[in-house]
Chains A and B, each alone.
Chain A
């Protein structure tokens, strides 16, 4: 068809003068409406428009009130009033006149009157009561056009209580000789049925007559009623199945008059309506379903033309096939059909394909497998609607194995779309979900905050998080779950500097201190809080502050926090966090005991003591140990301040053998680039001997998680990697097990409105770093030494590989050796130690050690490396390798 010719408003004045222009013949520029419209287009400001319309409305008001205004003039006035209302200006004084026009006007005037009424009022308006008699009169008119108008307005709006007054007359119309009247009467009754079902109950037999009407239009109209009836009570209408199937077969076979064709497709609206009815009739009813298999198959087959309308029918057909009692042969064809949707280059069809998949994977998760790559592409689509639908689909295939990846995607989506809302929502998730949440969730959340380039948006998000946490901490904290407090501490420690001078810099510190003192704060949380405080006092805001006193204090605190001996000497009593040790410290030190170490460091040492022994571990590690691994080693970015600290403490613990603390051995690990220089100029601290490769707290340095994948990796490969982590567990042996958390996130996603779509949507996911390990041949002794010196670690349980003739441990390690080229250093009893080195990527040449222990049915793996991201990515590959085995 010829698309609408574009004529912008700017062309309006010239068009108005050209009568020969297409369509212009119907314009009425000389009329009052024409003048009004023309006047509006010539205006330049909203203010002018307001003034003009006000004037117009006043003149309308005057005219309608005048007794000399004829109905013919009234009709014209009413059109102008409608126009003003459409522009958003109230013309309520004209409503009563619209009713009057419908009551008193000639047919054409009546038509405008009814139109104005239907636009101005709705069915709850009391004005409508004034119209009941007019409607009744028009329904009984001998003028068919008046009858049609009355039926139209009745189906648009009619006061519910007044239905009995006109019902007999409308009912009568079901037998009217003209099909257009019968059709409109059926639709009016359908409307009555929707708003007041009881009132039309007695005429159900007449509906059957309408269904059998010789005019297909009337029959089609009656299906609206039947769809509703069957939906509410399918059992009572099973006898109609045969008729519905017959009708559909005739329609599909092209037996209807050509008038009903739409783009050469026979009565598509009718087909869709019938397919919907069949879905209700066949649902959970094998016998009824069997009656319709043939016609469904025929519908699928016939709808082959490549036009939107056939896809609409196909979509409905697939829906019906998956709703009725299943027949495998049909399901196969339907699945194939969904495939065509998903693979279509047309975005609308792709969307529907995803939507269809979302439903069918609930019956068979494997149906998603052939479309993995398309799904991955859609996950990265520039249209947020497609992306959302893809997440919906992923949500349906969530299982224990891919939950982490999928939740991560959902959170990313949330973060990108709704910043402030996201933080607020996560606050309530943490507050409510509290400690029963999987540890994944806070970890992923923090990762999200920490990841990403350091642009304005990310800063805003972080700042908003900081602000909201500060106000939370100012309130009652006793009820907040420990996990949430940990999240809060971490975020405050990392990002409080974003608050700048906006408020008293010490306030965050005080809030954290209060938290530390509170009785209900758990040991684990305390270690998080301490970590945050350590980060805070070393933050450039304080240590690099222009306020010299503040700077000096921060510097002092930092030095003192690292040099316990000095602190014990300088601040024997004032150091509040150590006050409980005061009595013992000096004695103990005099007796040659080790100097005080912060809880942080002590936990660190605890880990190392355990590691040192190289004995089999006890079945469960001390709580503090696990908490330590969360605070320090697994801090979400793997790059937090505290992980730097743990590096220090390792060194400290080495040096402590000599019991004398060498100040110069302490690494300077935090601060912006400028920080060290300032420190030197302050002249208070010795020059650091070792520098860490990157400034850790510096907001300018992006976390290395965001590093580009190495050049050897093709985009395709990344996608495949992602696919394998998303679709893991969808194989034949696995049933879908729904994990609790995604549903929470998903509900939130569902509830968020799409008002924010103008947000530019960035590329969503970042690939995991590529890993190319090579065996690292070391002796058991060397392994032990290296193990101690590495500061980044990670623990996780992996699944064991079971074979017939091998121990599970040996089999698993062999599998890892074969797939990932790891070197198995030694196997002692139920434990094994493995080593590898990274060939390329961010931590090129760096080793990674694995300590594996069989624990119940799984393999407890502890990874250590000097490179923060290495354990994480190696673990990912181990998981993958073992899953594939």
Chain B
């Protein structure tokens, strides 16, 4: 075991594809508000993981660091008002950039709902999912520009108001 060569070779562990495993939003009272799984997980396991993770995160004190090693994953979480945003990434992923992914998502929600609060997300959770899907695709950042994410969402929303004639609206606006 005593070897000098091992020491020399050791270095940073390999970077894995920075795939996000899942993202959860839950309230301080432990109510799930949003869940997005990027890897196939059985329903039973999901429930168990959500419950376990909520317990762990809710027990953390405000001044503690935002990262957790949990199972074989790295958990990055941040609390915004009464909501906890919680991402599971690969062990070797960059924790700080994951925090910024969360932050950017919150910014998007805030911009879309106009000073977002937990209630907006409760009542319009499907909208929150649409925004998330436009921002992260298959667990990877798809669009880092706030403007273009929201543009895509709003264009789709426009259809809602003119539900009767979706075709014409689409042709008119395109997606430029």
Residues of A participating in the B interface, judged by any CB pair closer than 8 Å: 1-9, 12, 15, 22-24, 26-29, 33-34, 37, 79, 82-83, 86-88, 90, 106-108, 111-112, 115, 118-119, 122-124, 143-145, 148, 151-152, 155-157, 178, 180-181, 183-184, 187-188, 190-191, 194, 217, 220-221, 224, 227-228, 231, 259-260, 262, 267-270, 272, 276, 279-280, 308-309, 311-312, 315-316, 319, 322-323, 347-348, 350-352, 359, 362-363, 365, 382-383, 385-386, 388, 735-740, 743, 753-755, 757-758
Q: Kindly list chain A residues whose C-beta atoms are within 8 Å of the C-beta of B47.
A: 88
Determine which of B1, B81, B123 lies in contact with A740 in the assembled complex, contact meaning CB atoms within 8 Å: B1
Asked whether A178 and B176 contact (CB < 8 A) given A5-B117, A231-B14, the answer is yes
Measured CB to CB, the closest approach of chain A to B130, in angstroms, equals: 7
Q: Kindly list chain B residues whose C-beta atoms are within 8 Å of the C-beta of A145.
A: 155-156, 159, 170, 175
Mask, B30-48, CB within 8 Å of A = 1, is 0011111110110100010
CA of A739 to CA of B81 in the docked complex: distance in angstroms? 47
CB pair B64–A347 under 8 Å, yes or no, is yes
Q: Which of B56, B71, B126, B174 has the most CB of A within 10 A?
A: B126
Determine which of B15, B141, B144 lies in contact with A276 in the assembled complex, contact meaning CB atoms within 8 Å: B15
Q: Kindly list chain B residues whose C-beta atoms are within 8 Å of the C-beta of A276.
A: 15, 18
Q: Kindly list chain A residues whose C-beta atoms are within 8 Å of the C-beta of B174.
A: 144, 178
Measured CB to CB, the closest approach of chain A to B96, in angstroms, equals: 3
CB pair A4–B116 under 8 Å, yes or no, is yes
Asked whether A260 and B145 contact (CB < 8 A) given A7-B82, A107-B159, A309-B100, the answer is yes
CA of A382 to CA of B65 in the docked complex: distance in angstroms? 11
Determine which of B64, B100, B143, B156 lies in contact with A183 in the assembled complex, contact meaning CB atoms within 8 Å: B143
Mask, B82-104, CB within 8 Å of A = 1, is 11000000000011110110011
CA of A743 to CA of B3 in the docked complex: distance in angstroms? 14
Measured CB to CB, the closest approach of chain A to B76, in angstroms, equals: 9
CB pair A737–B41 under 8 Å, yes or no, is no
Q: Kindly list chain A residues whose C-beta atoms are within 8 Å of the C-beta of B69.
A: 385, 388, 754
Cβ contacts A to B, 25 pairs, < 8 Å:
A7-B82, A23-B114, A27-B119, A82-B125, A107-B170, A108-B159, A115-B133, A119-B36, A151-B137, A152-B137, A187-B137, A217-B144, A227-B15, A227-B17, A262-B100, A272-B94, A272-B97, A347-B64, A348-B67, A351-B65, A363-B10, A383-B61, A385-B69, A754-B68, A757-B60
CB pair B65–A217 under 8 Å, yes or no, is no
Chain B interface, DSSP helix/strand/loop, else mixed: mixed
CB pair A23–B140 under 8 Å, yes or no, is no
Q: Kindly list chain B residues whose C-beta atoms are within 8 Å of the C-beta of A112.
A: 126
**Nearest chain A residue, comparing its CB with the CB of B133:** A152
CA of A190 to CA of B141 in the docked complex: distance in angstroms? 12
CB pair B99–A155 under 8 Å, yes or no, is no
CB pair B137–A12 under 8 Å, yes or no, is no
CB pair B96–A315 under 8 Å, yes or no, is yes
Measured CB to CB, the closest approach of chain B to A11, in angstroms, equals: 8
Measured CB to CB, the closest approach of chain B to A571, in angstroms, equals: 53
Q: Kindly list chain A residues whose C-beta atoms are within 8 Å of the C-beta of B95.
A: 348, 351-352
CB pair A736–B7 under 8 Å, yes or no, is yes
Q: Kindly list chain B residues whose C-beta atoms are within 8 Å of the C-beta of A269.
A: 97, 141, 144
CB pair B17–A156 under 8 Å, yes or no, is no
CB pair B126–A267 under 8 Å, yes or no, is no
Asked whether A124 and B117 contact (CB < 8 A) given A107-B166, A755-B56, the answer is no
CA of A175 to CA of B59 in the docked complex: distance in angstroms? 50
Q: Kindly list chain A residues whose C-beta atoms are within 8 Å of the C-beta of B119.
A: 7, 12, 15, 23-24, 27
Chain A interface, DSSP helix/strand/loop, else mixed: helix
**Nearest chain B residue, comparing its CB with the CB of A27:** B123
Asked whether A187 and B138 contact (CB < 8 A) given A26-B120, A362-B10, the answer is yes
Mask, B106-144, CB within 8 Å of A = 1, is 110110011111111011111101100100011011111
CB pair A351–B67 under 8 Å, yes or no, is yes
A-B pairs with lowest CB-CB distance, top 4: A312-B96, A362-B10, A155-B138, A122-B40
Q: Kindly list chain A residues whose C-beta atoms are within 8 Å of the C-beta of B97.
A: 268-269, 272, 309, 312, 316
Q: Kindly list chain B residues whose C-beta atoms are within 8 Å of the C-beta of A115.
A: 126, 129-130, 133
Given A115-B133, A758-B55, 14 more A-B residue pairs with CB atoms under 8 Å apart are: A5-B81, A22-B114, A22-B115, A23-B120, A27-B124, A180-B148, A217-B143, A359-B11, A362-B11, A363-B7, A754-B69, A755-B55, A757-B68, A758-B59
CB pair A735–B7 under 8 Å, yes or no, is yes
CA of A190 to CA of B170 in the docked complex: distance in angstroms? 28
CB pair A187–B142 under 8 Å, yes or no, is yes
Q: Kindly list chain A residues whose C-beta atoms are within 8 Å of the C-beta of B55.
A: 755, 758
Measured CB to CB, the closest approach of chain A to B110, in angstroms, equals: 6
CB pair A187–B140 under 8 Å, yes or no, is yes
Determine which of A3, A143, A151 lies in contact with B80 in the assembled complex, contact meaning CB atoms within 8 Å: A3
Residue B163 interfacial (CB < 8 Å): yes
CB pair B116–A23 under 8 Å, yes or no, is yes
CA of A180 to CA of B133 in the docked complex: distance in angstroms? 13
CB pair B113–A1 under 8 Å, yes or no, is no
Asked whether A183 and B130 contact (CB < 8 A) given A83-B125, A148-B152, A280-B15, the answer is no
Q: Kindly list chain B residues whose C-beta atoms are within 8 Å of the C-beta of A178.
A: 174-176
Asked whether A231 and B15 contact (CB < 8 A) given A187-B142, A755-B52, the answer is yes
CA of A743 to CA of B29 in the docked complex: distance in angstroms? 40
CB pair A385–B40 under 8 Å, yes or no, is no
CB pair A34–B123 under 8 Å, yes or no, is yes
Determine which of A1, A8, A106, A260 lies in contact with B107 in the assembled complex, contact meaning CB atoms within 8 Å: A1
Q: Which of B8, B60, B100 has the most CB of A within 10 A?
A: B100
Q: Kindly list chain B residues whose C-beta atoms are within 8 Å of the C-beta of A736.
A: 7
Measured CB to CB, the closest approach of chain A to B28, in angstroms, equals: 8
Q: Kindly list chain A residues whose C-beta atoms are within 8 Å of the C-beta of B32.
A: 86-88
CB pair A108–B160 under 8 Å, yes or no, is yes
CA of A13 to CA of B160 in the docked complex: distance in angstroms? 27
Determine which of A37, A106, A217, A365 lies in contact with B123 in the assembled complex, contact meaning CB atoms within 8 Å: A37
CA of A309 to CA of B7 in the docked complex: distance in angstroms? 32
Determine which of B40, B83, B115 lies in contact with A2 in the assembled complex, contact meaning CB atoms within 8 Å: B115
CB pair A754–B56 under 8 Å, yes or no, is yes
Q: Kindly list chain A residues whose C-beta atoms are within 8 Å of the C-beta of B113.
A: 23, 26
CA of A197 to CA of B74 in the docked complex: distance in angstroms? 26
CB pair B1–A738 under 8 Å, yes or no, is yes
**Nearest chain B residue, comparing its CB with the CB of A364:** B7
CB pair A347–B12 under 8 Å, yes or no, is no
CA of A27 to CA of B144 in the docked complex: distance in angstroms? 28
Q: Kindly list chain B residues whose C-beta atoms are within 8 Å of the C-beta of A106.
A: 163, 166
Q: Kindly list chain A residues whose C-beta atoms are within 8 Å of the C-beta of B27.
A: 9
Asked whether A362 and B70 contact (CB < 8 A) given A107-B166, A178-B176, the answer is no
CA of A418 to CA of B170 in the docked complex: distance in angstroms? 60
CA of A145 to CA of B71 in the docked complex: distance in angstroms? 38
Measured CB to CB, the closest approach of chain B to A395, in angstroms, equals: 12
Measured CB to CB, the closest approach of chain A to B105, in angstroms, equals: 12
CB pair B159–A221 under 8 Å, yes or no, is no
CB pair B12–A322 under 8 Å, yes or no, is yes
**Nearest chain B residue, comparing its CB with the CB of A5:** B117
Determine which of A24, A87, A224, A348 lies in contact with B17 in the assembled complex, contact meaning CB atoms within 8 Å: A224
**Nearest chain B residue, comparing its CB with the CB of A392:** B69
CA of A228 to CA of B140 in the docked complex: distance in angstroms? 13
Q: Kindly list chain B residues whose C-beta atoms are within 8 Å of the C-beta of A352.
A: 95-96
Measured CB to CB, the closest approach of chain A to B52, in angstroms, equals: 6
CB pair A385–B56 under 8 Å, yes or no, is no
CA of A12 to CA of B31 in the docked complex: distance in angstroms? 15
Q: Kindly list chain B residues whose C-beta atoms are within 8 Å of the C-beta of A279.
A: 12, 15
CB pair A37–B137 under 8 Å, yes or no, is no
Measured CB to CB, the closest approach of chain B to A741, in angstroms, equals: 10
Q: Kindly list chain B residues whose C-beta atoms are within 8 Å of the C-beta of A1.
A: 106-107, 110
CB pair B117–A7 under 8 Å, yes or no, is yes
**Nearest chain A residue, comparing its CB with the CB of B126:** A79
Measured CB to CB, the closest approach of chain B to A229, in angstroms, equals: 11
Q: Kindly list chain A residues whose C-beta atoms are within 8 Å of the C-beta of B120.
A: 23, 26-27
CB pair B175–A180 under 8 Å, yes or no, is yes
Measured CB to CB, the closest approach of chain A to B131, in angstroms, equals: 12
**Nearest chain B residue, comparing its CB with the CB of A184:** B137
CA of A27 to CA of B100 in the docked complex: distance in angstroms? 28
